[in-house]
Amino acid sequence: MATVQAEPYEFEFDPATTALMIIDMQRDFVDPGGFGEALGNDVSLLRKAIAPTKQVLDAARRRGLVVIHTREGHRADLSDLPLNKKVRGRLKTGIGDKGPMGRILVRGEYGHDIIDELKPASGEPVVDKPGKGAFHATDLDAMLHNKGIRRLVVCGVTTEVCVNTTVREANDRGYDCLVLEDCVGSYFPEFQAAALKMIKAQGGIFGWVSDSTRFLEALGKA
């Protein structure tokens, strides 16, 4: 067992039963010129998470942790896109429409794919999810169960939407989650702070929060 200094208290994990999950580090959310920026967001707030996440990813690969990536997106025919998600925001250019990097959040399009810096290695599962949570309408739970995973170390974007939703879903399914605060990002600093506070509130109601330095230190000793 390894121990990470975390909040609200230390997080204990066995590398053999712990997976690194990197959520939605897709060009359309993170890269300049993508959908996120086209909506008026400052992508540098998300890009801050790339370098520490890359360090965690490299260390996890060296240590042999299970690594899982997710992408938010839809089938080309949009048959898995609920009407409420399609119309929400009253956007002129929304999901399925032609955006700056191909059809927005459609699988197979350039903008939908994971950024080059965090490209999945061969053999690392990529979970394509139509919703915000990575467990909704995916085989993630079965995959984790089959690999004997009990704990998740979570990185990705955005902290208050897909990261938070996934952590809540995971918690309800019995997985302990450690969120690395410098490896998650939000377009809204106030949401970043609040979303992290929510996870570790009330004795860790949804999980634990630490940072990449403390996690890497613990992994190095494991």
Judged by beta carbon, residue 165 or residue 210, the one nearer ligand C5J is: 165
Judged by beta carbon, residue 29 or residue 215, the one nearer ligand C5J is: 29
What is the contact mask toward ligand C5J in residues 70 to 99, using x (rule: CB under 6 A)? --x---------------------------
- Asked if 11 and 60 touch (Cβ cutoff 8 Å), the reply is no
Instruction: Give the alpha-carbon dihedral of 164, 81, 86, 97, to 10 degrees.
Output: 110
What is the contact mask toward ligand C5J in residues 38 to 77, using x (rule: CB under 6 A)? ----------------------------------x-----
Judged by beta carbon, residue 54 or residue 132, the one nearer ligand C5J is: 132
- How far is it, in rounded angstroms, from Cα 218 to Cα 2? 6
3-class DSSP state of 197 = helix
Judged by beta carbon, residue 157 or residue 180, the one nearer ligand C5J is: 157
> Could you say whether residue 157 binds ligand C5J (CB under 6 A)?
yes
Residue 77 corresponds to which tokens in the numbers above?
A: 């025919």
> Could you say whether residue 24 binds ligand C5J (CB under 6 A)?
yes
Residue list 192-211, contact with ligand C5J (CB under 6 A): none
Provide the 10 A C-beta neighbour count for residue 111: 23
> Could you say whether residue 22 binds ligand C5J (CB under 6 A)?
no
> Could you say whether residue 169 binds ligand C5J (CB under 6 A)?
no
72 CB-contact burial (10 Å; exposed 0-12 / middle 13-18 / buried 19+): buried
DSSP 94: -
- Asked if 23 and 166 touch (Cβ cutoff 8 Å), the reply is yes
Q: Which of 158, 166, 210, 212 binds ligand C5J (CB under 6 A)?
A: 158
> Could you say whether residue 161 binds ligand C5J (CB under 6 A)?
yes
C-alpha torsion sign, points 128, 171, 213, 44:
positive
- How far is it, in rounded angstroms, from Cα 128 to Cα 196? 24
- How far is it, in rounded angstroms, from Cα 200 to Cα 220? 24
Residue 62 parent element (H or E): helix 50-63
Q: How far is the CB of 159 from ligand C5J (least distance, A)?
A: 8
Compute how many residues bind ligand C5J; rule: CB under 6 A. Answer: 8
Judged by beta carbon, residue 52 or residue 156, the one nearer ligand C5J is: 156
Q: Give the interface with ligand C5J as residue ranges (CB under 6 A).
A: 24, 29, 72, 132, 157-158, 161-162
Return the active site residues: 24, 129, 162
